[in-house]
Chain A
Amino acid sequence: MMAELLRMALRNAFRYRRRTVLTCLAIAFGLGLTIVGMALFNGVEKTSLDHIKDSETAHFLVYPAQRSAGLLINNPAALAARLRSLPGVAGVECRLRCAATLINGQDELPVTAIGIEAENDPVVFRIRESLAAGKFLEAGERAALLVGNGLARDLGLSAGDLCSLRLFAIDDESDWNAIDLQVKGVFVSGNPRLDRAAVFLPLPLLQESLGCGDRAGEIAVRMQNEEDLEGKKAAIQRTLSIAGFHGRVLGFWEAAAGLVEVNRLRSRLHAIVPLIMLLVAALGVVNTMLMAVMERTREIGLLRAMGFRQREVLLLFVLEGGLIGFLGSAASCLIGGLSGWYLESHGIDIAFLLGREVADIAAAIYPIQDVFRADLNFGMLAFALVFGTAVSIACSFYPAWRAVRLDPVAALRRP
């Protein structure tokens, strides 16, 4: 019986083809946009986390807990060695950062100067992989620096050019200084905080220039995998305590917590538009099914005369509405899936689409430069399929209930 009802529902759904197609299209575009929106916000979140992890914090960033205890870590190499011996650790790097200005001889721009260990950095971060020109720093190298492509563009610098870096003291114990350097490479990390306002130079050079000995500002830890990160964080914390260092351990997801929260709030707000479209589509389903009941009143009377029970008539119409919803939702998966796939592989250039100002504002909020990529997953498509079908089924109940309530005699009398 169920198979027969399904067959009738399917044929009835395509009885008024144009109406069904229009209703399906409304569902498809409403839900398709929802999928694209979800994929984009998901992509923004994922890209932000990746950028923070790959260029700012690694999996964990260890730093002094209290300003009163000093801003720098004493004997960071010993701590790094202890952390390196922990299971699951892929790499550890000591870093030092300070405020600076980069001067090309005519103009100067404020930057963050970051001292890195050239031999450890490629294991912990992805700066070397993001080099667009020139070469990466080498261990023991002096007077060389890496510049972000935005900064290089603003100051007209390219690999091989000479420039000066004015360094500001980090604390009372460190010095101000100015050093001459040669641009060894230009990187494009995709993180505007780095690409537009950061330079990398050898850690020993920065330590020496600031007069802070072998002290570092932070220790970045990269794990081999991302399983049980909370447990790994606790292990790092224990190791540091045993070593007598009472600093903080920050997971990359914690560093991005505020940003993720803002992103999720935005995604909910932005979901209103496609949800309104979906509501319109749902009303379309109600309308389509009400019209079907009106047009098929006599047929309903016939079915009742033949012995169809009320719940079978109800099921017939609910199945019909559900099928329309399913087809519309499947089409939305196609639209959303293809759009999401395109936005995942090519991204959307908001500077091109919405202008440089908007892109700069976005770059101030998210660590993403211009191109926003979607992150589509199967769950979103499954959600759209189930949600669209469920909404359509729910919307079909009222028209189906009206069909059930029809008096068979009166229904058979209808022209």
Chain B
Amino acid sequence: MPQVRLSDVHKSYRNGKLETAAVAGVSFAVEAGEFLSIAGPSGSGKTTLLNLIGCLDRPSAGRIFLEEEEVAAAPKKRLADIRRDRIGFVFQAFNLIPVLSARENVELPLILAGMADRKQRRAAVEDLLAAVGLADVMERRPAQLSGGQQQRVAVARALVKKPALVLADEPTANLDSKNGEAILALMRELNQKLRTTFIFSTHDRMVMDFARRLIRIHDGRIVGDDGLQP
């Protein structure tokens, strides 16, 4: 059973009389534990595709299944529950909550998921932050962290609730190559260790090289799907 399945998915945006197709008839499936990159130039529809898979947006046409549950027409509340329970997000701009410390940022998804035991929650958060190399800075707020550290916090936040799927939208775009490589290595390590499915968008060659499967997209259409990389 594929973890994610898209069937002839379309997404278009209307701006006045002008209709732009961001995604035009995309179909593919992702198995659990994959480390997949969606690559393409700016404006090719990568982010839209991630938003559709992440239940942040609904397709104009077509069907999307997450673990065989059709989500394309699900009500908003159900989509929020799916995001809360099954999906982790990593954004290009880190998007940490500035008023919360690194530890509190990572803890938030667990609170959202209803984990009531504070001790257990704290332990999970601290273990994960230690695993991403942030044990010493977990009480700092985002403004007191470097870009690389912030993205590590974001990765920890995406993974803390042990989601089936992590979606990362250009996760290294705001990082220098050293930090970018470190983040990708971390994501791949966690993918292998936790068997979490990673789907990330990029237009960076170095990032594509990290992926074990590469879907190339152009003008909202899939133009290439390279299977498992060595």
Contacts and interface: CB of A to CB of B under 8 A. Distances in A.
With most chain A CB atoms within 10 A of its CB, the pick from B56, B82, B99 is: B99
The SS class assigned to the A binding surface is helix
Contact of A309 (B77, B89, B113): B77
Nearest to A12: B99
Given A1-B111, A409-B56, A304 B99 contact: no
Interface of A: 1, 4, 8, 11-12, 15, 298-299, 302-310, 408-409, 412
A306 B109 contact: yes
A308 B95 contact: no
With most chain B CB atoms within 10 A of its CB, the pick from A1, A11, A15, A306 is: A306
A16 to B, nearest CB: 11
Interface residues of B, number: 26
B112 A308 contact: yes
With most chain B CB atoms within 10 A of its CB, the pick from A15, A299, A408 is: A408
A412 B109 contact: no
B76 interface: yes
B89 A306 contact: yes
Given A1-B112, A8-B100, A307 B95 contact: no
Contacts of B57: 408-409
A305 B112 contact: no
B81 to A, nearest CB: 7
A307 B56 contact: no
A305 B89 contact: yes
B108 A306 contact: yes
B100 A307 contact: no
Given A4-B111, A307-B80, A298 B95 contact: yes
Contacts of B112: 1, 306-308
A336 B76 CA distance: 47
B133 interface: no
B99 A305 contact: no
Nearest to B54: A305
A395 B109 CA distance: 29
B84 interface: yes
B83 A306 contact: yes
Contacts of B89: 302, 305-306
Contacts of A299: 95, 97-98
List of 7 A-B pairs having minimum Cβ-Cβ separation, nearest first: A307-B84, A11-B99, A307-B83, A302-B95, A4-B111, A409-B57, A309-B80
